[in-house]
Amino acid sequence: MARFVKKMRGPVSFVGVGVKHAANDVDGTTPRIISGAGVPTDVVADGSIYLRSDSLTAGDAIYARIAGVWVVLDGT
């Protein structure tokens, strides 16, 4: 077991991560955790989270998709 854990430990990277409520949820309705530079423009499911990689303040670093619109979550 320790050998497997050591081998599998390390950085993990994804283009985006889907968070499903159940295994049979349709991908188009699955909220995602994504990141990128600039204000988000992707059309994804409500409940998705966007982490802005070029943000200089907590005021525009995280966005949430609510009712079909990206809303900044002001962390200041």
Instruction: Give pLDDT, residue 28.
Output: 72
DSSP string, the chain: -HHHHHHH-S----S-EE--SSTT--GGGS-EEEEESSS------TT-EEEETT-SSGGGSEEEEETTEEEE----
Mean pLDDT of 35-39: 94
For the stretch 47-75, pLDDT in tens is 999 999 999 999 999 999 999 999 999 88
